Amino acid sequence: MNLTRRHVLAALPAGLAAAALARVAHAEEQPAVESSDLIYITPIRSDGSESRCQAEVWFQAHDGALYVVTAAEAWRARAVSRGLDKARVWVGDVGVWTDSDGAYRKLPSMDMRASLVTDAQAQSAVLEKMGSKYTMGWLVWGPRFRDGLADGSRVMLRYT
């Protein structure tokens, strides 16, 4: 069995999950963003339609933007590198998007613009916050994210 972030999150004791959800920095401004562990993302095609590629992913709110670390070859990264910088983002957790029967579409959503983050200091600041947010899962995914950003197998995306 391949270990995924979803498996790690599902295995967290209820107390740790509740503590992670309780973290708020700007609760009055963005309660859904500050209380959720997941966002659902889909790139917007050049004709304005949503891509068929969608996913639920870990993210971090930082300096007014949402940040995601993903494989360099993932559709999210490829879309941005091809100039398709528009994306729709839903905030919340209804499980794996393919198993949700579209329930994520009822979550709060935002149309955003994506860009690659290459600044090492910005990446480090976001990763540090992610480590605090995803405490137990970070034991596995923190090194993978850091190493992947260093060797180019992963990229950081910023959604504004």
pTM confidence score: 0.77
Q: Give the per-residue pLDDT at 27.
A: 36
What pLDDT, on a 0 to 100 scale, did the predictor assign at position 57?
Answer: 87
Among 139, 85, 74, residue whose Cα is nearest residue 113: 85
> Is it the case that residue 33 has pLDDT exceeding 80?
no
Residue 94 reports pLDDT greater than 70: yes
Q: Is the confidence at residue 156, as pLDDT, over 70? A: yes
Predicted local confidence at residue 31, as pLDDT: 59
What CATH architecture applies to the domain 5-159? Roll (2.30)
Q: Mind giving me the DSSP string for 10-38?
A: HHS-HHHHHHHHT--SSTTT-HHHHH-S-
pLDDT digits (tens, 9 = 90+) for 40-61: 898 999 999 888 877 788 999 9
- Answer with the residue of higher pLDDT: 13 or 2: 2
What does the pLDDT average to over 105-124?
93
Mean pLDDT of 2-25: 48
Judged by average pLDDT, the poorest of 10-14, 32-36, 39-43, 90-94 is 10-14
**Token digits for 157?**
């995306």
H or E element, residue 151 = helix 138-151
The three-class DSSP label of residue 54 is: coil
